[in-house]
Amino acid sequence: MYRYDEFDQQAVDERVAQFRGQVGRRLKGELTEDQFKPLRLMNGLYLQLHAYMLRVAIPYGTLSPRQMRMLAHVARKYDKGYGHFTTRQNIQYNWPRLVDTPDILADLATVEMHGIQTSGNCIRNVTSDPFSGVAAGEVEDPRPWCEIIRQWSSFHPEFSYLPRKFKIAVTGSEHDRAAIKLHDIGIRVVRNAAGETGFEFWIGGGMGRTPIIAKKIRDFVPKADLLDYATACLRVYNELGRRDNIYKARIKILVHEMGLEKYSALVDEEFARSQGTVKLPDAEIARIQAYFAPPAYETLPATSTAFEARRFEDKGFRTFVRTNVHAHKVPGYAIVSVSLKAPGVAPGDASADQMDAVADIAERYSLDELRVTHEQNLVLPNVKLDDLYTVWKQLSAAGLGSANIGLISDIICCPGLDYCDLANARSIPIADELQQRFADLERQYAIGSLKIKMSGCINACGHHHVGHIGILGVDKHGKELYQLQLGGSGAEDASIGQITGAGFPPERIVGAVETVIETYLSLRHGDAETFLDCYRRVGLAPFKAALYEAR
Amino acid sequence: MKVLTANRLDDGAVVYIGKAAPWVEDLASALVAVDVGAEGQLTETAATAVKARLVVGAYLMPVTVEDGRILPASVRERIRAAGPSNRPDLGKQAPAPALPR
């Protein structure tokens, strides 16, 4: 993992001291709320329905156990004993007091954490594949490139007041677990015909009010040009992106309205002019990459007799392995997904005790590393096959043993109107009811791979546009109403879901989802045809008919 | 009918202009404005409190009164008055901690 150098630490420590002064001046009346608000937002501090909310950055979703324990400490000491892992691989605390936030940020700074780049019209905290560095078949670990982007983008003077927020995601795999095509810039590490690795650039993707799949702007950007090319993309946007209308200010609108060809020509022009300005020296690339050198893996056989025996004997463990354990690039190891989607718990929520438990497990069994996923789960990236059974037992003891990754109950869900100031409708109670309705694990397996994603407003923090089944909560004449969308995907085959028709009241939306599922089960070509494949084959019509004709 | 609500500056808690006290946490103790004149008074009181750094984000919210109970008109305000609907243990709806014996 990357470790702060003296400059990183100094910058974060100075920011804490500045914020302490700003909070003091606000409380003394030397700053009005209008003056203070942009300052607190630059440190991730929002004001929500019930209280302030502090968003803490987890750059590219990578955490050490020490950092996770600090997150638990903050939850326990300053909040109400839990935190919420978000679809941006960050964590949010829902109840901090303004007067405590300088101390919270000071505590976080001791483990190289902060709330910088979690709000405002800057380049936001960079996100990545939660399986980075360990996925079987990966071209290259994207995290060094994420870290380079983090260092370049933090406090970037030219890009601190963009027309609107700007999100960059990087993956090193063909299979996209970072939703790169739904980002302002999506980057995929690729290998060219000469065997060199570089970057495929995607531009202008995003969800929100106007969902757009990113367009490929370059097949191959050499490594040394990463920041120069990104700068060119941002510079054109910064100059031409709309600042008169917040709903049209994202780069996706600029690229869409201008057309990729014209936008791309301007980027090329700027790139030709400025290439070499922030050219990455090989020595610096090597220095950053050294932080992400593979940990000390043992040489192990590709299979484990103990693991196979446990899997044979214990049905619960077998179930867990089926959904939550994934292929690792090193023989004898596995990647373990830790579901934060237990029944009755808001998706993404974890208690301080659970954070401590998973930190202990990571320290002992996962070579000191943890990841956060944009699907609001955690990952233990380096577990020996021999240790899997013990890890599962310990996770289960902490209430983290849910074997539902990728199934219908592994729902992405924003905080919605239960917490969020922007929301129009609740999402957590609908997720809870869906989990109850589909609680039977055998039924979940029978349904197969299925991603439900739900947002409580058009801003789409819950990624409803790219859910296989997407649910959007709206306010209609003061009442909550839920629109249903089908056929979205945030993966490499990205697509935007289609709205089925009129929305459903809270008491009918779960039944509507069940109708969609039953329709799928009646239409699919055998168990192997997933919901998404089936939907793409048959289209919206049979689902629409099932949903509305009986009305 | 309207009640004036805001968030307290130092901790963000949801508060209302009260009948007996300037700012109360419990909606049941809030002062209900029944006409434009009363609403204007609440707005003035709130503006003073914003200046005095007691609260932020003050606004009037519609309510109804049924059997003496003040009920917010919107789902949003019902949730603000109670707490997250998925966590009855949190927010104003949370049971009061047991008194030490």
pLDDT in tens, A398-436: 999 999 999 999 999 999 999 999 999 999 999 999 999
Together in a domain, A87 and A155: no
Selecting from A27, A80, A417 the residue whose C-beta is nearest the C-beta of B75 gives A417
Q: CA B36 to CA B41: how far, in whole Å?
A: 9
**Pair A274, A338 in one domain:** no
Of residues A26, A419, A480, nearest to B84 (C-beta)? A419
Interchain CB distance below 8 Å, A346 and B74: no
Chain B residues with CB-CB distance to A349 below 8 A: none
| Contact criterion met (CB < 8 Å) for A27 and B53 | yes
CA A404 to chain CA centroid, nearest Å: 18
Whether residue A95 is found in the same domain as residue A162: no
Average pLDDT for residues A84-107, to the nearest whole number? Answer: 98
Are A402 and A339 a contacting pair, CB within 8 Å? yes
Q: Establish whether this prediction's ipTM goes over 0.90.
A: yes
pTM equals 0.97
- A368 and A249: one domain? no
Does residue A280 sit within a domain? yes
| A440 shares a domain with A385 | no
Give chain A positions within 8 Å (CB) of B75. 417, 425-426, 475, 478-480
Block residue for tokens 């109840």: A95
CA distance between the termini of chain B: 42
Question: Which residue(s) pair with B69 in the sheet?
Answer: B66
* Residue A550, pLDDT score: 62
Q: Return d(Cα A70, Cα A75) in angstroms, integer.
A: 9
Interchain contact A191–B (C-beta under 8 A): no
Mean pLDDT, residues A248-269 taken together: 98
Q: What is the per-residue pLDDT for A285?
A: 94
A150 with A283, same domain: the answer is yes
Assigned domain for A117 exists: no
Residue pair A235/A275 in contact by the 8 Å Cβ criterion: no
For residue A363, being part of any structural domain is answered with: yes
Is residue A123 assigned to a domain?
A: no
Whose tokens are 């839920």? That residue is: A482
Joined tokens for residue B79: 């949730």
Do the domain assignments include residue A362? yes
Give yes or no for a contact between A119 and A421, defined as CB atoms under 8 angstroms apart. no
Residue carrying structure tokens 């191959």 = A220
A434 and A533 part of one domain: yes
Terminal alpha carbon distance of chain A: 56
pLDDT at B100: 65
Helices (H), A259-351: 260-274, 282-291, 305-313, 315-324
Return contacts of A287-292, CB within 8 angstroms, 24+ apart: A288/A2, A288/A144, A288/A147, A288/A148, A289/A144, A291/A1, A291/A2, A291/A3, A291/A144, A291/A147, A292/A1, A292/A2, A292/A133, A292/A141, A292/A143, A292/A144, A292/A147
Domain count, chain A: 4
Nearest to A346 among B73, B80, B86 (CB): B86
State which residues form the domain around A101. 6-109
Q: What angle do CA A128, A461, A127 make, to 5 degrees?
A: 10
Rg (CA), chain B: 14
With contact defined as beta carbons under 8 Å apart, do A471 and A460 qualify? no
Q: How far is A6 from chain B (nearest CA, A)?
A: 33
Q: Are residues A285 and A171 in the same domain?
A: yes
pLDDT at A408 (0 to 100)? 98
Distance CA A259, CA A253 (A): 10
**Region of residue A379 (left: phi > 0; alpha: psi -120 to 50; beta: else):** beta
A–B: how many Cβ contacts below 8 A? Answer: 73
* pLDDT tens by residue, A286-316: 999 999 999 999 999 999 999 999 999 999 9
Do A170 and A23 lie in one domain? The reply is: no
Using CA coordinates, name the residue in chain B closest to A49.
B80
Its sign, for the CA torsion A157, A159, A165, A169, is: negative
CATH of the domain at A367: 3.90.480.20
CB B72 within 8 A of CB B19: no
Q: Is A405 domain-assigned?
A: no
Task: Answer yes or no: is A406 within a domain.
Answer: no
Tokens of A164: 């609107």
A487-544 tens-digit pLDDT: 999 999 999 999 999 999 999 999 999 999 999 999 999 999 999 999 999 999 999 9
Using alpha carbons only, what angle is made at residue A469 by residues A464 and A474, rounded to the nearest 5 degrees?
45
In whole angstroms, give the CA distance from residue A86 to residue B63: 33
pLDDT mean for each 10 residues of chain B (101 residues): 98 96 95 97 97 97 97 96 97 84 60
Assign residue A222 the CATH number of its domain.
Answer: 3.30.413.10
- A319 in any annotated domain: yes
- Domain edge (last residue) among A75, A109, A143: A109
Q: Given A291, A320, A347, which residue is the final one in a domain? A: A291
- A140 and A287 within one domain: yes
A339 and A282 inside one domain: no
Q: What residues in B contact A481, CB-CB < 8 Å?
A: none
Q: Residue A551: its pLDDT value, please?
A: 58
Going by DSSP bridges, is the β-strand pair A412-413/A452-455 parallel, antiparallel, or unpaired?
Answer: parallel
Is the pLDDT at A143 greater than 80? The verdict is: yes
Residue A193 CB-density burial (10 A; 0-12 exposed, 13-18 middle, 19+ buried) = exposed
DSSP category for residue A358: H
Mutant choice from A417, A457, A475 vs B, greatest count of B C-beta within 10 A: A417
Same domain, yes or no: A379 and A426: no
Instruction: Note which residues in 14-53 of chain B have CB less than 8 A from chain A.
Output: 14, 50, 53
The pLDDT tens digits for A327-368 are 999 999 999 999 999 999 999 999 999 999 999 999 999 999
- Asked if B97 has any chain A CB less than 8 Å from its own CB, the reply is no
